Amino acid sequence: MLSLKLPQLLQVHQVFWEDGIMSGYRHPTSSALDCVLSSFQMTNETVNIWTHFLPTWYFLWRLLALAGGPGFRAEPYHWPLLIFLLPACLYPFASCCAHTFSSMSPRARHICYFLDYGALSLYSLGCAFPYAAYSMPASWLHGRLHQLFVPTAALNSFLCTGLSCYSRFPELESPGLSKVLRTAAFAYPFLFDNLPLFYRLGLCWGRGRDCGQEALSTSHGYHLLCALLTGFLFTSHLPERLAPGHFDYIGHSHQLFHICAVLGTHFQLEAVLADMGSRRAWLAAQEPALGLVGTLVTLGLVVAGNLLIIAAFTASLLRAPGSCPLLHGGPPEGGTRAKHQ
């Protein structure tokens, strides 16, 4: 009879360690099968895996449910929403795969997260399509910023992927610099994408409900709150930094980061749907719908460009000698530095 044995877990002194996480580590040269099996045992990555694997199916269900609605796909007005949902399904799946297979080897760990970062950068572009179509302030319609909004978001996605991939290279020698680069790589596209919301929020601040088409829905507020919490958890590494070893399996910052990110995407989808419905008649009189061909061409070019960036960093990684600090599987000398995903 075929029997499968769950992989053995390691302690902090045996592996390349995470700040505040003392146990539950997988072997740094696990097989692909061991990586898959580890998702069914309690490790410090198990909750990370499932908090993005299950939401992948939720967003896919939302995509199929909306796309399968009567006449939904046939109407150009709906296409930016569908384009947004494609990377919304992709980024949690890429994250799930990265957390699952990152323990196959030091090189595999970095390549997995290169792909994870690429999916997140595509998500940042995906957000720009519905914001340009449904969420622009009235004074911005047909203006220069509106016309350049999606092209700029496309360029931002290249910057996001390149900077975040590069940030893995100095993480042993300069972990602070690595963290700053990675945070900036994702914070900047988020801030740019949400400029229309920030502007509308500023217009409506203190005016109550007397805000007309610029009013933001409650879901917009929840989305921005979740984004704020996501950034805080990513940079602070709380609560595990306050009590090392107490949150190794459940409750550490990366798990909470995943949950807040997924909730933020959910509320973002609801906010986009709210803008679609409440502003439809007004937008129909203001601007033509975005063309599907141009949208798909833009998305395709950005996918190709991001894959080329990831390929370049992967090639650099594969050429690195085995003595390169980046490929060391254990903690740095002195055990005082940790990697940050």
Of the candidates 119, 122, 82, the one whose C-alpha atom is nearest the C-alpha of residue 97 is 119
CA 128/CA 274 separation, integer angstroms: 16
**Average pLDDT score, the chain:** 88
pLDDT for position 330 = 46
* Lowest-confidence segment of 9-13, 200-204, 244-248, 269-273 by average pLDDT: 9-13
Residue type, 44: N
pLDDT for position 209 = 61
Is 217 within a domain? yes
Tens digit of pLDDT for each residue in 110-123?
999 999 999 999 99
pLDDT for position 40 = 95
Which tokens is 65 given?
């449910």
pLDDT for position 282 = 85
CATH number at residue 199: 1.20.1070
Is 46 within a domain? yes
Domain extent at residue 269: 32-205+213-322
Tens digit of pLDDT for each residue in 264-280?
999 999 999 999 999 98
Cβ atoms of 183 and 234 within 8 Å: the answer is: yes
In which band, very low, low, confident or very high, does the pLDDT at 337 lie, cut at 50, 70 and 90? very low
pLDDT for position 324 = 76
CA 100/CA 157 separation, integer angstroms: 25
Is 329 within a domain? no
- Residues making up the annotated binding site for Zn(2+) are 99, 254, 258
- For 57, other C-beta atoms within 10 Å of its C-beta total 12
Is 333 within a domain? no
Which tokens is 231 given?
């950034």
Is 20 within a domain? no
Is 225 within a domain? yes
Tally of domains within the chain = 1
- For 303, other C-beta atoms within 10 Å of its C-beta total 16
The CA-atom distances, in angstroms, between 45 and each of 113, 114, 160, 196, 291 are 14, 18, 25, 36, 42
Is 57 within a domain? yes
Is 278 within a domain? yes
- Residues making up the annotated binding site are 99, 254, 258
Residues 6+ apart with CB under 8 A from 312: none
What is the model's pTM? 0.90
Tens digit of pLDDT for each residue in 193-242?
999 999 999 988 866 666 778 889 999 999 999 999 999 999 999 999 99
